Structure 1
Amino acid sequence: MDIAALSTQLAQVNLMQNVSLAVTNMAMDAQQQMSTDLVESLETSVPAPHPTLGQTIDISV
């Protein structure tokens, strides 16, 4: 077995693993940011309920 070829193959495998982890981390960071943005937009877009809403019932018989 050629030691130089084996060394090159191991370096390529190591590089592919590092690239794969970097891409996964980038995707996770993007998802985290989108989740944070979604939560912030939901918190600001929902108005407070009306203070007297639901306290009276209008019934006619």
Structure 2
Amino acid sequence: MGIALLSMALGQSHVQQQASMSVMKMAMRNAEQQGAAIQELMSTTNAAAIQQAAQPHLGGNIDLKA
């Protein structure tokens, strides 16, 4: 009986490890895709657009009174 239980425990452990590795690989692919998207976004936008997004209240009004 001891050998049968040990065999079952090892089998379950192996399946759990494979499932864990699959989930980790999916998370790594997600992180790589998000990193690539952020890198592309940062390279395509200009500094003025980034500043406007960070401080949208600046530069919207011009005082024309002299």
Q: Report the Cα offset of residue 55 of structure 1.
A: 7.4
Q: How many positions carry a matched residue from both structures?
A: 53
What SS does the aligned partner of 1:43 have? helix
Aligned equivalent of 1:59: none
Q: Distance in 2 between matches of 1:48 and 1:22?
A: 40
Percent identity over paired residues: 12
Q: Distance in 2 between matches of 1:48 and 1:7?
A: 62
Greater Rg over alpha carbons, structure: 1
**1 or 2, which has the higher helix percentage?**
2
Alpha-carbon RMSD across the aligned residues, in angstroms, is 2.2
Relative contact order (C-alpha < 8 Å, sep 6+): which is higher? 2
Question: Normalised by the size of structure 2, how large is the TM-score?
Answer: 0.65
- Gapped runs of 5+ residues in structure 1? 57-61
Question: Normalised by the size of structure 1, how large is the TM-score?
Answer: 0.70
